[in-house]
Amino acid sequence: MHNLKRRSWAEPFKIKMVEPLKMTTREYREKVLKEAGYNTFLLKSEDVYIDLLTDSGTNAMSEYQWAGMMLGDEAYAGSKNFYHLEHNVQKYYGYKYLVPTHQGRGAEHLISKILIKKGDYIPGNMYFTTTRLHQELAGGTFIDVIIDEAHDPQNEHPFKGNIDLQKLEDLIKKVGPQKIPYVSVAATVNMAGGQPISMANLKQVRELTSKYGIKIILDATRAIENAYFIKIREEGYKDKSIEEILYEFCSYTDGATMSAKKDLLVNIGGFLALNDYDIFEEARNLVVVYEGLHTYGGLAGRDMEAMARGIEEAINYDHIRARIGQVEYVGQKLIDANIPIVRPIGGHAIFLDAKKFLPHIPQIQFPAQTLAAEIYLDSGVRTMERGIVSAGRNKETGDHYYPKLELVRLTFPRRVYTQAHCDVTIESIIEVFENRDSIRGLKMIYEPKYLRFFQARFERL
| Residues with a known catalytic role | 76, 128-129, 219, 262, 386, 453
State yes or no: residue 105 binds ligand PLP (CB under 6 A).
yes
Query: Rg for the chain (alpha carbons), in Å?
Result: 22
Question: How big is the chain, counted in residues?
Answer: 461
CA distance 111 to 39: 34
Segment contacting ligand PLP by CB under 6 A, of 123-131, 150-158, 352-360, 374-382: 123-131
Cβ closest to ligand PLP, residue 222 vs residue 302: 222
Q: Are 141 and 120 in contact (CB under 8 A)?
A: yes
Q: Cα 266–344–222 angle (5° rounding)?
A: 20
Cβ closest to ligand PLP, residue 159 vs residue 458: 159
State yes or no: residue 131 binds ligand PLP (CB under 6 A).
yes
Cβ closest to ligand PLP, residue 198 vs residue 259: 259
Pick the binder of ligand PLP from 53, 89, 168, 186 (CB under 6 A): 186
From the list 285, 258, 294, the residue with the least C-alpha distance to 92 is 258
Cβ neighbors of 342 (< 8 A, separation 6 or more) are: 153, 193, 350, 351, 353, 405, 407
Segment contacting ligand PLP by CB under 6 A, of 23-31, 124-132, 314-322, 432-440: 124-132
Segment contacting ligand PLP by CB under 6 A, of 149-157, 259-267, 326-334, 349-357: 259-267
Pick the binder of ligand PLP from 58, 130, 332, 363 (CB under 6 A): 130
Pick the binder of ligand PLP from 270, 298, 367, 441 (CB under 6 A): 270
CA distance 371 to 407: 9
Segment contacting ligand PLP by CB under 6 A, of 34-42, 103-111, 296-304, 412-420: 103-111
CA distance 163 to 183: 10
CA distance 452 to 456: 5
**CB of residue 189 vs ligand PLP: minimum separation in angstroms?**
8
**CB of residue 178 vs ligand PLP: minimum separation in angstroms?**
27
From the list 159, 294, 320, 132, the residue with the least C-alpha distance to 235 is 159
Cβ closest to ligand PLP, residue 59 vs residue 221: 221
Q: CB-side exposure of 25: number of CA atoms within 13 Å?
A: 3
Interface pattern 352-391 for ligand PLP (x via CB under 6 A): ----------------------------------------
State yes or no: residue 259 binds ligand PLP (CB under 6 A).
yes
CA distance 311 to 355: 39
Strands 442-446 and 457-460 come out as antiparallel
DSSP state of 351: E
Segment contacting ligand PLP by CB under 6 A, of 101-109, 152-160, 233-241, 355-363: 101-109
CA distance 407 to 391: 11
Strands 141-144 and 121-124 come out as parallel
State yes or no: residue 84 binds ligand PLP (CB under 6 A).
no
Cβ closest to ligand PLP, residue 130 vs residue 363: 130
Cβ closest to ligand PLP, residue 53 vs residue 444: 53
Pick the binder of ligand PLP from 125, 190, 201, 295 (CB under 6 A): 190
**Nearest residue (beta carbon) to ligand PLP:** 104
From the list 103, 111, 135, the residue with the least C-alpha distance to 297 is 103
State yes or no: residue 241 binds ligand PLP (CB under 6 A).
no
CA distance 117 to 394: 26
**CB of residue 351 vs ligand PLP: minimum separation in angstroms?**
15
* Dihedral angle of Cα 249, 346, 261, 253, to the nearest 10 degrees: 20
Segment contacting ligand PLP by CB under 6 A, of 17-25, 125-133, 233-241, 294-302: 125-133
DSSP state of 413: P
**CB of residue 84 vs ligand PLP: minimum separation in angstroms?**
20
**CB of residue 184 vs ligand PLP: minimum separation in angstroms?**
10
**CB of residue 105 vs ligand PLP: minimum separation in angstroms?**
3
State yes or no: residue 262 binds ligand PLP (CB under 6 A).
yes
CA distances from 246 to 59, 124, 345, 412 (A): 21, 20, 21, 22
Interface pattern 38-77 for ligand PLP (x via CB under 6 A): ------------------x---------------------
Q: Cα 40–41–43 angle (5° rounding)?
A: 65
CA distance 361 to 119: 42
- The binding site for ligand PLP (CB under 6 A) comprises 56, 103-105, 128, 130-131, 186, 190, 219, 221, 259, 261-262, 270
